[in-house]
Amino acid sequence: MPEIHFEIEWPDGSTDICYSPSLVVKNYFSAGTDYQIDDFLERSRTSLNIASDRVQQKYGMPCSLALSQLRQIEDKSKGYSDQAGKVRLIKFLE
């Protein structure tokens, strides 16, 4: 199963490298695009849950790395309000 990393920039300028066990995230995000916090969270939840489900279908268990990545995104986003700015998906790292 092809995995992918992607770099994001938070409203305060800090960056993170995120992980997905599936390329499905490319269906939900575009490089160089800004997303409101709530939209970014929804897209992250959808794509990373789909990615985890694909791992479960193939290997019989959900992807703990994808679910952990989602928790990290959710936890960090709590520090920002929707009005605080946007999250930019800088690039996909393949």
Give the pLDDT confidence score for residue 58 in this predicted structure: 95
pTM: 0.92
The pLDDT tens digits for 25-66 are 999 999 999 999 999 999 999 999 999 999 999 999 999 999
Which whole number is the average pLDDT over 72-90?
88
When the pLDDT of each residue in the chain is averaged and rounded to a whole number, the result is 94
Give the CA diameter of the chain.
40
pLDDT at 83 (0 to 100): 65
User: Do residues 9 and 40 make contact, with C-beta atoms less than 8 angstroms apart?
Assistant: no
Specify the pLDDT at position 80. 84
For residue 79, the model assigns a pLDDT of 87
Q: Residue 6: which of 57, 51, 64, 63 has the closest Cα?
A: 51
Domain ranges of the chain: 4-93
